[in-house]
């Protein structure tokens, strides 16, 4: 059986979200790990920092193995940084990010995540449909 990048990526995301739950009893939400890694005096900070650094290094390893990365836009780096900070703040404020609710929350059958994913997907679909009408 030949795996595409998408199937392999999906399997790795599923595995990466299951392992912290099985080993530590923690949900593998990136916004939660990122926030915890910024609190150096907590017992979970070292594990959280390793998780976040592993996400970044994983991209480099993927590229080093010869697999393509998504194309970057021409926006300046400071704008990417500002956008990342705003998304991080918003995801902590909202109790998790879209992928956290979609992968981790649905994986553990969380009613709150189910409602969140319904809202995220509905808004995304409506946005896409409305943007297509503008063209």
- In SS3 terms, 76-135 reads as CHHHHHHHHHHHHHHHHHCCCCHHHHHHHHHHCCCHHHHHHHHHHHHHHHHHHHHHHHHC
Per-residue pLDDT at 90: 83
Which helix (H) or strand (E) segment is 66 a member of?
A: none
When divided into structural domains, the chain yields a total of 1
Q: Judge whether residue 134 has pLDDT over 70.
A: no
Do 20 and 107 form a contact (C-beta atoms < 8 A)? Answer: no
Per-residue pLDDT at 105: 85
Per-residue pLDDT at 9: 82
d(CA 55, CA 50): 9
Q: Judge whether residue 6 has pLDDT over 70.
A: yes
| Confidence category of residue 62, pLDDT binned at 50, 70, 90 | confident
pLDDT digits (tens, 9 = 90+) for 9-44: 888 888 888 888 888 787 877 888 888 888 888 888
Residue % of the chain over a pLDDT of 90 = 6
Q: Judge whether residue 71 has pLDDT over 90.
A: no
State which residues form the domain around 13: 5-134
Do 117 and 105 form a contact (C-beta atoms < 8 A)? Answer: yes
């Amino acid at each position: 059986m030949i795996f595409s990048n998408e199937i392999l990526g999906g399997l790795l995301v599923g595995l990466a979200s299951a392992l912290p739950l099985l080993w530590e009893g923690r949900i593998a939400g990136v916004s939660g790990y990122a926030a915890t890694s910024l609190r150096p005096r907590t017992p979970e900070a070292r594990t959280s920092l390793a998780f976040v650094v592993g996400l970044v290094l994983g991209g480099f390893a993927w590229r080093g193995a010869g697999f393509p990365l998504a194309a970057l836009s021409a926006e300046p780096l400071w704008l990417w940084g500002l956008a990342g900070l705003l998304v991080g703040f918003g995801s902590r404020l909202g109790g998790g990010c879209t992928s956290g609710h979609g992968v981790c929350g649905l994986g553990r059958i969380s009613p709150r995540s189910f409602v969140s994913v319904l809202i995220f997907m509905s808004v995304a679909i409506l946005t896409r449909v409305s943007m297509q009408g503008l063209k």
